[in-house]
Structure 1
Amino acid sequence: MLTKVKMPLPDMMAAALAMDESILDADQVENLIKFCPTKDEMELLKNYTGDKELLGKCEQFFLELMKVPRVESKLRVFLFKIQFISQVTDFKKSLNTVNSACEEVRHSLKLKEILKKILYLGNTLNQGTARGSAVGFKLDSLLKLTDTRATNNKMTLMHYLCKVLASKSPSLLDFHVDLVSLEAASKIQLKSLAEEMQAIIKGLEKVKKELEASETDGPVSEIFRKTLKEFVGVAEAEVGSVKDLYSVAGRNADALALYFGEDPARCPFEQVTVTLLNFVRLFRKAHEENLKQAELERKKVQKEAEMENAKGVNLTKKGLK
């Protein structure tokens, strides 16, 4: 790693303590952390009384690191600072995706109408039975529409639903355009978001601890303290904003399950979004298959008509003879 360093070691350490991202990037700082000397290595160098100029580049590098109190902690703080903006930006993007998906689903009038028609269809099919006057249905029942088939085994209940909608309510067929965030949201795990939130909070706590500890370091950490103090001020405000957004996302995720009459503990956000996404895909597939079938039947009728016309022409020709 050191053979790739194109600057004097003291300059590299000065850049690290100034947390200068224009000189050192995340990969370089990670390498510096990786090659920090162990306690045993530091003891050996402390006890070395010979000419330090005779030491190898690695040992000289260790000596530079040892001039800085808690050097590994400071380098980890620098790495956190480098990665902070992109980490928070990505995290906010995930939270906004959750919020958008929840809002889109709950405000989609077209989806609501389709669900009403599915309930009506189910009650009609179950008329005269105990299930014939249901006021609702479980969310996972949406995926069972493809399991119920007609006697010819060709058309499913999903095909029939699409056919009815195409005939009586064609404006509902493109309900999926209301749910633009659904696919992205279905890939998000709330557990991962919770872990990410904790990582950001704990990372900032470590930064603040190092800032406090560096107050007694003396001149060697002067620039480090000044730069870090400015960063902490900005980071605290940003983390506060992210915490608020995270709380909103959690409430929206629970509200989404409740919207469908489900218990968020038994039917969490991940299950709701995946079920809805699969329903959208199955619905669109059934509609496309209906269109293809209708086109095949149209061509068949047209061909039969052409054959009938051809027969009529031949009979006419024979009559003329």
Structure 2
Amino acid sequence: MKPTSAHSQTHYDHLRIRLADIKKATDDFSKDRHIGGGGFGEVYRGELINHSQGQTLAFKRLNRKHGQGTRELWNEIYMLSEYKHPNIVSLLGFYEDNIEGILVYEYASRSGLDLYLDKKELDWRQRLTICIGGASGLAYLHSGGADGTLQKIIHRDVKSSNILLDKEWNAKISDFGLSKFAPANKNISIIHTGAVGTLGYCDPLYLESGSLTKESDVYSFGVVLFEVLCGRLCIRSAQKHGENFIELVKTSYEQQTLINIVCHHLQHEIRPESMKVYTEIAYQCLNKNRKERPSMNSIVEELKKALDYQLSPNKAYDPETILSQRKINLPHMCNAALALDSSIVDIDQLNNLLKVLPTSEELDMLKGYTGDKKMVGERGQFILECMKIPRIEAKLQLLKLRISFTNQINEITGNLNIIKEATTEIRESIKLASIMKEYDQILQRNQRGHLAELWFNNIRKPKETDLFLLYKEGDEKNAAWFDFDKDLVNLDAASKIKIQDLRESKSTIVKEVKMAQQELDSSYSDGGVSPEFHEALKTFLYDAEQHPSLTNFFNSVDDDTKSLVKYFKGDPKDQSFTEVLGFMMVFIQLFKSQHDAVEKEKRDRQMEADRIRKEEEFAAEPVILKVFVLLTVAVLKTFDLFFKPL
């Protein structure tokens, strides 16, 4: 909600703080309380006891002499009071009159990100986390809130000093004085306005044309990403070295020499796969064509991926890293794909290799290349090797299928066997059949049902009294079915298996085998492809076709599960096999609890009987004997008291 008049500003009166309270909190804006400042004004820290329960707050005192007037102040009030996100600084109050304009924020004790770019305090993991936080806050603004119901906001002054850090190093986007609401109900939001912002971070197209879009923020954030990587401010870098920071990082990226300008204490810390993902998305942010820049949501996802690769060394992304794990070179990897040789690579390596296969643009670029391989770099050499194998992706997928095929089949059949065994155990349990019969009689006596409705109407919410009577009845008859659950050895495992998941796995295998047949047919026209590939694929397809059919096995298990539902007088159309197992697990748990209750009652009765018997025996003894017993007890206690060792 954006107020347009003084009257509508009263909506925010609950945020107003008295000037006297602010002055008291900041010691009348004393130098000791000063924590920063700039063209917008000065920032102080202080404690508002009546407003923040003694917590330290930040007070931004706008300097109206430098253009920060009423409009900028209210701009921040409107936005920060309506837009709430963990990575956006929180507005806690304000004061405004014709002379003063003061905003009160949560206190970010570590100040701005710009102060830590070249500091060892921030390792690469922390830097990635901060960048993810900043990108998340901007994505929230660009999307119009968490659910998209608010107006979309363009920050217009994204820079490292406006990304504040709290005590836990959490990123907080700040300074919304220059922000703009994007036009409502428009997919493409372009605002024509005079270019403002900070030199070095501004989108070049915005500076040239005055047209502002969300992608302008993306460009600025891309500058921040390279500042974080290189450990230096874009403006200060230009002043110190006489160079254009943006041109330097773009050229270094394109020439694959970025490592030379990476912050020195990060150079040996960043994993290659993390560096690759991070720099790719940062470079895309700086694209001159706005349509080629990523969205903030995409940036968040890529940064999370970079963090994941940094934290998970086993998730190799770079081809050379993948190959080095097995000490094999690129030609050997490709030969393994042609021979369908599962002894050289594993599933993880194949999955990672599939991620880095060359794009069509890369293939076109090196098509027909006959020069020195070393001149195209490691990536180029990898592409040249891949180009030797027609449809390399399909062949790698086939190798992956061959490695996993037997394990997948065994896993599916193993789970189906467990289900089959569980249904057989339940139907053939004599103890369970006795319990069902006894329980049905109890229900009929209480006029609550009969066997036809037993499990699907009564076991869902069984009455404790019924179960107590059931167990007690068996106890009185010396029934041997109290441990009936021990006969159902596969019940627990079967209850955790989802048949639908098994069906989907089977369907995937069937599709993959069909694709393998199609690749075999296509490969006959590949010319120089190794005959070894044809023979290996033929052998695999023959083995797959000769494997016991899963379809018949599934049909058999389906019959078993339906018969189990019918066994409990249910309708397979209304009740599923999973429901039956769920009810069984609940019934066993409740039945055992009744065992504890009955056994406790028996113990209590026995203890009471023993107590009564002892009292009766004592009452029947002669008086002299009673006196003798009491005196003996007293003498023993006295003796113990005097002669007890110290």
1:314–1:192 CA distance, 2 compared to 1 (3 A): farther
Amino acid paired to 2:452:
G
CA shift digits 1:284-312 (9 cap, x unpaired):
22112211331233223323433444455
Amino acid paired to 2:545:
E
CA–CA distance in 1 between the matches of 2:523 and 2:597?
Answer: 68
**Who is 1:300 aligned against?**
608
Say if 2:460 is the partner of 1:137: no
Greater strand proportion: 2
What TM-score comes out, normalization by structure 1 length? 0.88
CA–CA distance in 1 between the matches of 2:397 and 2:495?
Answer: 33
**Who is 1:15 aligned against?**
336
CA–CA distance in 2 between the matches of 1:10 and 1:138?
Answer: 67
CA shift digits 1:29-75 (9 cap, x unpaired):
11221111111111112165643221211210111111101000000
Say if 1:257 and 1:272, in contact at 8 Å, map to a contact too. Answer: yes
**Who is 1:201 aligned against?**
510
Say if 1:10 and 1:64, in contact at 8 Å, map to a contact too. Answer: yes
Q: CA deviation at 1:275?
A: 0.6
Say if 2:398 and 2:516, in contact at 8 Å, map to a contact too. Answer: yes
Say if 1:214 and 1:221, in contact at 8 Å, map to a contact too. Answer: no
Q: Which of 560, 564, 580 is the matching residue for 1:252?
A: 560
Amino acid paired to 2:610:
Q
Across the aligned residues of Structure 1 and Structure 2, the Cα RMSD in angstroms comes to 2.2
CA–CA distance in 2 between the matches of 1:137 and 1:72?
Answer: 56
CA–CA distance in 1 between the matches of 2:482 and 2:420?
Answer: 24
CA shift digits 1:82-109 (9 cap, x unpaired):
1111111110111111111111111112
What secondary structure is seen at the aligned counterpart in 1 of 2:549? helix
Say if 1:119 and 1:137, in contact at 8 Å, map to a contact too. Answer: no
CA shift digits 1:134-167 (9 cap, x unpaired):
453241312433x25xxxxxxx221221111122
What TM-score comes out, normalization by structure 2 length? 0.45
**Who is 1:57 aligned against?**
378
Amino acid paired to 1:137:
E
Amino acid paired to 1:67:
K
> Which of 1 and 2 has higher RCO (CA within 8 Å, sep 6+)?
1
**Who is 2:593 aligned against?**
285
1:16–1:214 CA distance, 2 compared to 1 (3 A): same
Q: What runs of 5+ residues in structure 2 fail to find an aligned partner?
A: 1-317, 632-646
**Who is 1:70 aligned against?**
391
Counting only pairs closer than 5 Å after superposition, residues 162-311 of structure 1 correspond to structure 2 as 162-238=471-547, 240-311=548-619
Amino acid paired to 2:419:
V
Greater helix proportion: 1
Q: Which of 150, 154, 159 is the matching residue for 2:468?
A: 159
1:32–1:294 CA distance, 2 compared to 1 (3 A): same
Q: CA deviation at 1:319?
A: 7.0
CA–CA distance in 2 between the matches of 1:315 and 1:180?
Answer: 62
CA–CA distance in 1 between the matches of 2:442 and 2:624?
Answer: 51
**Who is 1:152 aligned against?**
none
CA–CA distance in 2 between the matches of 1:111 and 1:32?
Answer: 54
Q: CA deviation at 1:169?
A: 4.3
CA–CA distance in 1 between the matches of 2:422 and 2:404?
Answer: 27
**Who is 1:91 aligned against?**
412
CA–CA distance in 1 between the matches of 2:592 and 2:406?
Answer: 39
**Who is 1:151 aligned against?**
none
CA–CA distance in 1 between the matches of 2:470 and 2:519?
Answer: 63
Q: What runs of 5+ residues in structure 1 fail to find an aligned partner?
A: 149-155
**Who is 2:107 aligned against?**
none
CA–CA distance in 1 between the matches of 2:372 and 2:341?
Answer: 32
1:318–1:257 CA distance, 2 compared to 1 (3 A): closer
Task: Report how many aligned residue pairs link the two structures.
Answer: 307
Q: Which of 419, 422, 431 is the matching residue for 1:110?
A: 431
CA–CA distance in 2 between the matches of 1:291 and 1:318?
Answer: 36
Q: CA deviation at 1:200?
A: 1.6
